[in-house]
Amino acid sequence: MRQIIAIFAKDARRFWLEILICVALLIGLVLVYPATWRMAGLDGVDFRFFGGEGPTGLLAGSLVVLIPIAWLVLIARVIHCERLVGDTQFWLTRPYDWRKLLGSKLLYLAACLYAPFFVAQCVLLHEGGFHPFHHLGGLLFNLLLLTVVGVLPLVALSAITTGFGRLVLVLLGVALAIIAAAVAGSAMPSHATSSLPDIVSGNLALGVIFCGCLAATIVMYARRSAKTAWLLLVALTLVMCSTVFFDLDAALMNRRYPELSSGSTAPVTFAYGAQGKNQPVATITDDKRAVDIEIPMLASGVQDGYVAITEAQKVILTNATGAKWESPWQGSATGRVLPGVQTTWIRLHMRRSVYEQFKSMPVTLRVSFAVTMARKARESVISLPGAEFAVPEIGICQPRRWNLRPDEMMGIDCRSAMNQPQLTYVSALWTQGGCNAGAAEDQNHATTQVWVGELNPGPAEFGITSVWNAQVNLEFPRTNYPQSEQERWSLCEGTPMRFTQYQPTARLRDDVIISGFHLPEPANGIYLKLLLQE
């Protein structure tokens, strides 16, 4: 332990400036970031890493960029202080035990990076109106994510490089490899659509990164075998890049979303929904090599208290000549089907050659939906107060006011702790023509709804800040460019807002067959579709 403390103390003395800068940046974030919550900008504040609009938002955004850079310098400097590559370092012939050396570096990171970061996260939670103790799991999980996606890879890369310049070059190389893989992957038709639900690939990727980087680090500290460590990290990068081409989740979709057993009633049913303005549309992609086809579907049969969430679909096309084409599972812009009949669109991405082959004659279309059923778990009705208020399903919310009429509200801004909230359905009653007392009965009212949050948010989402802005983008009942005061829609103080939280209950696959379907002629881009829908 004496050796660990000695090395730690030596590093802390040597890199006091780097430590000071890191701590100062965190203090700056703690001071600046909460100010952005109170800005309540017109467009809302969608925080991930960046702040909202204006100088304060810009400053907060700059800080969340500068903090990882400061960490990069902090980590690289302390690892390179006892450089592992080379044969002329002073410490190689001193009684350094590699475990103690590694232990001292971990102690340094714990004291100079993790501890200040943890404290900053706690302070931000406190400032945000949350009790840090209630989110201890999320805080620790965020530290774990920080380790896996940030600290450990940087430690491993620092361990195999001789200095900061080399490290930066290697980081650029890794970034280039990822960009190249992403570009190559985007050219594949099956990957051009949104990604599939993250079944295993996300966790597996984190596990692979963790194990690969840990192994490379230990190889370097225990044996100083740079060749082996390089091989490990190159292999790791290749494996990660290869996931662009081989989506492991696609292979697991059938198991994850089992077919309905015969005789059982589908909790949601789909039918071809072309009617009126809702007609299938085909759009040729910019590179002319693929076609996106959007097909309207009618979804119904969802029981009260449930919502059906379509997460992906696959399609099998057959025609009279016996030709057949089967798409891979394609992620879709998630559709959420509530009780009643509802139109939902499926978006199918196919190669141009396949499209040309099938468009000339009617086809039979078998569409498989990957559906997650969620049940209402909790519901609150809150009379919209004029000031900040707590919503059990989301976190802390505050009214968003009209700039010129601060007594009236045009929405709410919410913030949640550690990640986006559990999937919540928010509905609100709007009033047209102002919120003057006593006029409510003879005024127009309308209700709008919006989905907020995620179905499986997990204990924490990786972030520099522990408080997240939950997007509650309630749409105006109609376009809200009022010609007069009487036409303007507002949320009035005391108006009821309903927050309904859903928990996933089951996953299933639901098939629908459409016979005699004609692939639509290509439209001239998205505008034609919009025109048709108008």
Interacting residues toward another protein by CB under 8 A? 2-3, 5-6, 10, 14, 87-90, 92-98, 100
Nearer to another protein, 92 or 183 (CB): 92
Residues 343, 300: Cα–Cα separation, whole Å? 9
The DSSP 8-state label assigned to residue 454 in this structure reads B
CB-based contact 478:395 (threshold 8 Å) = no
Which residue carries 């105006």 as its tokens?
476
Nearer to another protein, 18 or 311 (CB): 18
Exposed / middle / buried, residue 27 (Cβ in 10 Å: 0-12, 13-18, 19+) = middle
Nearer to another protein, 13 or 288 (CB): 13
Query: Smallest distance from the beta carbon of 85 to another protein, in angstroms?
Result: 12
Query: Smallest distance from the beta carbon of 152 to another protein, in angstroms?
Result: 25
Nearer to another protein, 5 or 235 (CB): 5
Query: Smallest distance from the beta carbon of 97 to another protein, in angstroms?
Result: 4
Query: Smallest distance from the beta carbon of 77 to another protein, in angstroms?
Result: 11
Exposure b/e, 446-480, CB count within 10 A at least 16 = b? eebeebbbbbebebbbbbbbbbbbbbbebebbeee
3-state secondary structure 243-260: CCCCCHHHHHHHHHCCEC
Nearer to another protein, 89 or 480 (CB): 89
3-state secondary structure 260-288: CCCCCCCCCEEEECCECCECCEEEECCCC
Nearer to another protein, 3 or 443 (CB): 3
Query: Smallest distance from the beta carbon of 13 to another protein, in angstroms?
Result: 8
Encoding tokens for residue 297?
A: 């579907």
Residues 499, 451: Cα–Cα separation, whole Å? 10
Computed from CA positions of residues 64, 66, 111, 221, in that sequence, does the dihedral angle turn out positive or negative? positive
CB-based contact 374:351 (threshold 8 Å) = no
Nearer to another protein, 14 or 134 (CB): 14
Query: Smallest distance from the beta carbon of 3 to another protein, in angstroms?
Result: 6
CB-based contact 178:243 (threshold 8 Å) = no
Nearer to another protein, 226 or 367 (CB): 226
Query: Smallest distance from the beta carbon of 79 to another protein, in angstroms?
Result: 15
Nearer to another protein, 100 or 191 (CB): 100
Q: Which amino acid is at 315?
A: V
Nearer to another protein, 3 or 343 (CB): 3
3-state secondary structure 162-185: CCHHHHHHHHHHHHHHHHHHHHHH
Helix (H), strand (E) counts: the chain: 13, 17
Query: Smallest distance from the beta carbon of 140 to another protein, in angstroms?
Result: 32
Query: Smallest distance from the beta carbon of 231 to another protein, in angstroms?
Result: 17
Query: Smallest distance from the beta carbon of 87 to another protein, in angstroms?
Result: 5
Residues 33, 127: Cα–Cα separation, whole Å? 10
